[in-house]
C-alpha cells in the first residue's frame, strides 16, 4: 500500500524541481507561428487548446472560421487535433490566443492568386450590393464586382442570390482587395464563338460622345465614332437611337481587357452610306465583310501588325472605380457579427 503522507523531501522531487523541468522542455511560441493543438475543452464562446505550452491556449469563436460561426461545435470537436495560428503573445495569465480563421485566409489568398494566374472563370452568388457594384465570396474572401463590370439588364439590387460567372481583375492581399468582372467572363465565353471580320446583329444599349455600345448576344461591344462611317460624324446621336437594331462587323477581340470593337464603316459600299442609305449597308454587309477579311489576311501575310482602334478618354471598357467604393476582401474585426447578441 502506498503511503500518501510522504513529503516532497522524502520523494526527492519538489514543486520547484517540477517548474524547472517544465521550463527546460517548454516550447517558445510567437505570434504568426502555426502549431498543432488538441481541443480539450469547448466553451460557449470559444475553446481551450493544448499546444504544449504551460497554460492552455484559447481560441475565441470569431477566430474559428473564415465564415460565420454560431457555436464552437460547428468547427471543433473535443480531442480533435489540428493546426492553429498563434494570434497574440501570452496575456498576464500566460495564455496565448489562437486562430483558425487566419490560416483559412492565408490559404484563400494563395488559392485566388493561383486561380488568377490560371485565368480561371469562377462562379459565385451575389450576397449584397452597394453604391459601386455587387459583393460576392470567393474562397471565403469578399470580392467586389464594379457596376461597370456587371453585364445584365437587371438593376443590380435584383442580383442578390444570383450566381454569376466571374473573372479576376485584381488580387491584392497587401491592399486587401479582390476585384472581379462578370462582363469579362461573358465576353470571354462569347469571344470563343466570335471571329474578327464576322457580321453580327445587335441592339444599341447606350450612346456616348465617343461611340455607341451595342449588345450582341448578352455582351457589349463598342462602335467607336471613328468606325461608324467614312464621312465625318459630329455625334453618334445623329446616326443611332437607343434600342435601334444594327448590323455591325467585329474588328477586334481583346479578351485580356474584355473588349469587343465593332465597325459599320468597314461595311459601307460607298463612303457615307451609313448616313445616306443605312439599309444598303446592311444588305451588302456580308459581301463587304468578305472583302474586309481578304484585305486583313493579305495584310497579315505581308506585314503582320496589330489593328488598333482609337479610344478616347472615357471609352475604356474597364471604367475607373473610386477607391472608397471597393470594399476590403477581409472584413475587419468590427465587421464580423457576434455569434450571440448580448
| pLDDT given for residue 301 in this prediction | 80
Question: What average pLDDT does the segment 142-164 reach?
Answer: 89
| pLDDT given for residue 337 in this prediction | 27
At residue 46, φ and ψ (nearest 5 deg) are 175, -160
Q: How far apart are CA 214 and CA 206, in angstroms?
A: 7
pLDDT of 1 higher than 80: no
Please report the DSSP string for 129-141 in residue order.
E-SSEEEEEETTE
| pLDDT given for residue 105 in this prediction | 92
The beta strands (E) that lie in 76-162 are given as 81-88, 97-99, 122-129, 133-138, 141-146
Domain 119-185 belongs in CATH node 3.20.20.70 = no
Q: How far apart are CA 342 and CA 340, in angstroms?
A: 6
CATH of domain 9-99: 2.40.50.140
Question: What average pLDDT does the segment 148-167 reach?
Answer: 88
Residue 144 — pLDDT band, cuts 50, 70, 90? Answer: very high
pLDDT of 306 higher than 50: no
Residues 33-54: pLDDT tens digits? 899 999 989 999 999 999 988 8
Contacts of residue 171, defined as CB under 8 A and 6 or more positions apart, other chains included, come to 109, 112, 113, 116, 177, 178
| Cell, residue 331 | 472584413
pLDDT of 305 higher than 80: no
Q: How far apart are CA 267 and CA 228, in angstroms?
A: 9
Domain boundaries, the chain: 9-99, 119-185, 194-297
Residues 70-112: pLDDT tens digits? 999 999 999 999 999 999 888 888 889 999 999 999 999 999 9
> Of 2.40.50.140, 2.70.70.10, 3.30.390.30, 1.20.1260.10, which CATH number belongs to 194-297?
2.40.50.140
Q: What is the pTM of this model?
A: 0.61
Question: What average pLDDT does the segment 113-117 reach?
Answer: 94
Cα distances from 109 to residues 68, 141, 184, 246, in angstroms, run 18, 8, 21, 44
Question: What average pLDDT does the segment 133-141 reach?
Answer: 93
Question: What average pLDDT does the segment 261-281 reach?
Answer: 94
Burial zone of 38 (CB within 10 Å; 0-12 exposed, 13-18 middle, 19+ buried): middle
Q: How many beta carbons lie within 10 A of that of residue 165, not counting itself?
A: 17
Q: Alpha-carbon Rg of the chain, whole angstroms?
A: 31
Any idea how long the chain is? 342
| pLDDT given for residue 17 in this prediction | 59
The β-bridge relationship of strands 219-224 and 259-263 is parallel
Question: What average pLDDT does the segment 148-154 reach?
Answer: 84
Question: What average pLDDT does the segment 280-293 reach?
Answer: 93
Residue 312 — pLDDT band, cuts 50, 70, 90? Answer: very low
Contact 284, 304 (CB under 8 A): no
Cα distances from 172 to residues 22, 112, 138, in angstroms, run 43, 10, 14
Residues 191-240: pLDDT tens digits? 788 889 999 999 999 999 999 999 987 778 999 999 999 999 999 999 99
| pLDDT given for residue 325 in this prediction | 56
Write down the mean pLDDT value for the chain: 82
At residue 232, φ and ψ (nearest 5 deg) are -65, 140
Amino acid at each position: 500500500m502506498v503511503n500518501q503522507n510522504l513529503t516532497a523531501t522524502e520523494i526527492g522531487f519538489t514543486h520547484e524541481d517540477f517548474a524547472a523541468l517544465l521550463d527546460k522542455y517548454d516550447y517558445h511560441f510567437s505570434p504568426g507561428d502555426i502549431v498543432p493543438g488538441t481541443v480539450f475543452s469547448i466553451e460557449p464562446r470559444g475553446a481551450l487548446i493544448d499546444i504544449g505550452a504551460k497554460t492552455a491556449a484559447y481560441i475565441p469563436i470569431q477566430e474559428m472560421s473564415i465564415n460565420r460561426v454560431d457555436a464552437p461545435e460547428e468547427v471543433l470537436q473535443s480531442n480533435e487535433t489540428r493546426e492553429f495560428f498563434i494570434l497574440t503573445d501570452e496575456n498576464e495569465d500566460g495564455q496565448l490566443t489562437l486562430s483558425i480563421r487566419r490560416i483559412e485566409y492565408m490559404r484563400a489568398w494563395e488559392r485566388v492568386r493561383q486561380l488568377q494566374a490560371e485565368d480561371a472563370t469562377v462562379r459565385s452568388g451575389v450576397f449584397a450590393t452597394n453604391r459601386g457594384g455587387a459583393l460576392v465570396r470567393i474562397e471565403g474572401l469578399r470580392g467586389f464586382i464594379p457596376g461597370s463590370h456587371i453585364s445584365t439588364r437587371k438593376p443590380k439590387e435584383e442580383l442578390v442570390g444570383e450566381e454569376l460567372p466571374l473573372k479576376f481583375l485584381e488580387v491584392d492581399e497587401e491592399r486587401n482587395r479582390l476585384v472581379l468582372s462578370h462582363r469579362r467572363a461573358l465576353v470571354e465565353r462569347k469571344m470563343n464563338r466570335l471571329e474578327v471580320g464576322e457580321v453580327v446583329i445587335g441592339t444599341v444599349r447606350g450612346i456616348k460622345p465617343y461611340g455607341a455600345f451595342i449588345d450582341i448576344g448578352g455582351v457589349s461591344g463598342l462602335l467607336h465614332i471613328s468606325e461608324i462611317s467614312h464621312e465625318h460624324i459630329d455625334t453618334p446621336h445623329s446616326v443611332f437611337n437607343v434600342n435601334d437594331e444594327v448590323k455591325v462587323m467585329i474588328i477586334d477581340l481583346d479578351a485580356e481587357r474584355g473588349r469587343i470593337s465593332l465597325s459599320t464603316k468597314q461595311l459601307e459600299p460607298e463612303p457615307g452610306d451609313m448616313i445616306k442609305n443605312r439599309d444598303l449597308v446592311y444588305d451588302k454587309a456580308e459581301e463587304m465583310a468578305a472583302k474586309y477579311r481578304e484585305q486583313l489576311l493579305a495584310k497579315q501575310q505581308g506585314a503582320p501588325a496589330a489593328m488598333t482602334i482609337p479610344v478616347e478618354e472615357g471609352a475604356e471598357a474597364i471604367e475607373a472605380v473610386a477607391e472608397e467604393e471597393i470594399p476590403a476582401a477581409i472584413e475587419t474585426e468590427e465587421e464580423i457579427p457576434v455569434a450571440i447578441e448580448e
